[in-house]
Amino acid sequence: SGWNEQPLQVVYRHKAAGFRFEDVRSLEQGELGAYIAGFAKRDKAEGFDFSSGELMRVSVLRTGEESYRFVWSFHHILMDGWCLFLIVGEAFNTYFAILEDRKPELVPVTPYS
């Protein structure tokens, strides 16, 4: 549906992504793999609701003293294969810059409008 029988596109100025954190260090090694697989399956089954929910979720599972599992879920309408490559590259470059205690080098963005 749309406005006055015409398609309508809504672009949010600010739309927060969902964020979840779980500390699963107490799980035994044998349980951990099954838990992570189940978590990913539940996250995928949750899907996304255009009208009320976020269209992207980031989940961090702490699996050890210095190890984490990062689950990044998004609706395919947000990113295609071409831009996913760019965004994942930017995310990892930012992460490694922070680890090296330096400022991330980000390219200027073009407003959607």
pTM above threshold 0.85: no
Query: Which segments of the chain are extended strands (E)?
Result: 18-23, 56-62, 68-74
Q: Out of 3.40.190.10, 3.30.460.10, 3.40.50.720, 3.30.559.10, select the CATH number for domain 1-76.
A: 3.30.559.10
Instruction: Give the angle subtended at the CA of 29 by the CAs of 18 and 72, to the nearest 5°.
Output: 20
Q: What are the boundaries of each domain within the chain?
A: 1-76, 79-113
Q: What is the pLDDT of residues 3-59, one digit of tens each?
A: 677 877 777 777 778 899 999 999 998 899 999 999 999 999 998 887 777 888 999
Quick one: average pLDDT of 82-102?
91
